[in-house]
């Protein structure tokens, strides 16, 4: 199965994608199987922040939730940076409490995100979604324990540099076909698509569908 880790479109095969949503996407579609819920820095203001926190806390009761986010830091959007940090802190704290991984939206704020991860030392996985950075940045993020999710556009050397178990594929907002992204990624990594699909399935299972084992593993470290 070609699992789509992060999409804003209704997936063709409902159980093969994580639908990423925020308060402004509600009411949520019924025919979605897996959800990630977050506070996106693009859609955030001082006024709606309390409401968004409430919405997230309520949606945690939804059994379809397998992750939080996307949330994060974006230096190119108009939302005050301090407020973005507050919202991100809220999400990462919940991620630890609820034992859910987080999808991170990061634009020109990688130093801040890495510094935050170093100081907070989260046990849950932090997944940089839509990663388009260069190989050096990919390597630095991997050294710091991040998972990278690649979409339609990326530097091939970056995807080549990521060890198996540390990457995902996603369509995000694009109309790209997820199967095509799997084939392209397999060609980039110079491995058969079948192997790549198996590698990603193992990563997906570990990150989103094996939470008890994950938390036990986290406790050991
Ligand atoms: Zn997205």
Reported as a pLDDT band with limits 50, 70 and 90, residue 219 is very low
Q: Match 């996985």 to its residue by tokens.
A: 125
Q: What is the pLDDT of residue 220?
A: 38
How remote is the CA of residue 69 from the centroid of ligand 1, in Å? Answer: 9
What mean pLDDT do residues 33-48 have? 97
Q: Match 């994950």 to its residue by tokens.
A: 214
Kind and range of the H or E run holding 74: strand 65-74
How remote is the CA of residue 170 from the centroid of ligand 1, in Å? Answer: 9
What CATH number does the domain located at 4-210 have? 3.20.20.140
Residue closest to 41 by CA, chosen among 74, 8, 19: 74
How remote is the CA of residue 120 from the centroid of ligand 1, in Å? Answer: 24
Residue 112 CB burial class (10 angstroms; 0-12, 13-18, ≥19): middle
How remote is the CA of residue 34 from the centroid of ligand 1, in Å? Answer: 15
How remote is the CA of residue 16 from the centroid of ligand 1, in Å? Answer: 16
Reported as a pLDDT band with limits 50, 70 and 90, residue 10 is confident
How remote is the CA of residue 219 from the centroid of ligand 1, in Å? Answer: 30
Q: What is the pLDDT of residue 71?
A: 97
- Joined together, the tokens standing for residue 123 give 């046990």
- Joined together, the tokens standing for residue 157 give 């050397």
How remote is the CA of residue 202 from the centroid of ligand 1, in Å? Answer: 22
Domain ranges of the chain: 4-210
- Joined together, the tokens standing for residue 208 give 């989103």
The bridge status of strand 102-107 relative to strand 147-150 is: unpaired
59-118 residue pLDDT tens? 999 999 999 999 999 999 999 999 999 999 999 999 999 999 999 999 999 999 999 999
Q: What is the pLDDT of residue 211?
A: 62
Residue closest to 41 by CA, chosen among 127, 100, 135, 105: 105
CB 151 within 8 A of CB 174: yes
- Joined together, the tokens standing for residue 119 give 């100081």
What mean pLDDT do residues 42-48 have? 97
Kind and range of the H or E run holding 37: strand 34-37
Cβ neighbours around 114 below 10 Å, total = 19
Q: What is the pLDDT of residue 186?
A: 98
Neighbouring residues of 28: CB distance < 8 A, sequence distance ≥ 6: 19, 21, 35
Q: What is the pLDDT of residue 154?
A: 98
How remote is the CA of residue 76 from the centroid of ligand 1, in Å? Answer: 16
How remote is the CA of residue 6 from the centroid of ligand 1, in Å? Answer: 7
How remote is the CA of residue 135 from the centroid of ligand 1, in Å? Answer: 22
121-170 residue pLDDT tens? 999 999 999 999 999 999 999 999 999 999 999 999 999 999 999 999 99
188-218 residue pLDDT tens? 999 999 999 999 999 999 999 986 444 444 4
Q: What is the pLDDT of residue 7?
A: 96
Q: What is the pLDDT of residue 30?
A: 85
Rounded distance between C-alpha atoms, residue 140 and residue 95, angstroms: 23
Q: Could you report how far apart the first and last alpha carbons of the chain are, in Å?
A: 32
């Amino acid at each position: 199965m070609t699992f789509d880790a992060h999409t804003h479109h209704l997936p063709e095969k409902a159980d093969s994608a994580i639908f990423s949503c925020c308060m402004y996407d509600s009411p949520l579609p019924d025919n979605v199987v897996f959800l990630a819920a977050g506070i996106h820095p693009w859609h955030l203001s001082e006024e709606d922040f309390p409401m968004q926190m409430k919405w997230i806390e309520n949606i945690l009761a939804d059994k379809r939730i397998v992750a939080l986010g996307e949330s994060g830091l974006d230096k190119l959007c108009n939302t005050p940076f301090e407020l973005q940090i507050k919202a991100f802190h809220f999400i990462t704290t919940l991620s630890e409490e609820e034992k859910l991984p987080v999808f991170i939206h990061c634009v020109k704020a990688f130093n801040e995100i890495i510094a935050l991860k170093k100081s907070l030392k989260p046990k849950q996985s932090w997944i940089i979604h839509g990663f388009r950075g260069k190989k050096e940045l990919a390597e630095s993020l991997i050294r710091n324990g991040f998972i990278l999710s690649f979409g339609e556009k990326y530097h091939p050397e970056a995807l080549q540099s990521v060890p198996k178990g540390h990457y995902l594929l996603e369509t995000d907002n694009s109309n790209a076909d997820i199967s095509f992204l799997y084939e392209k990624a397999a060609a980039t990594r110079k491995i058969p698509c079948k192997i790549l699909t198996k590698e990603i399935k193992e990563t997906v299972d570990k990150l989103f569908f094996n939470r008890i084992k994950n938390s036990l593993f986290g406790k050991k470290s």
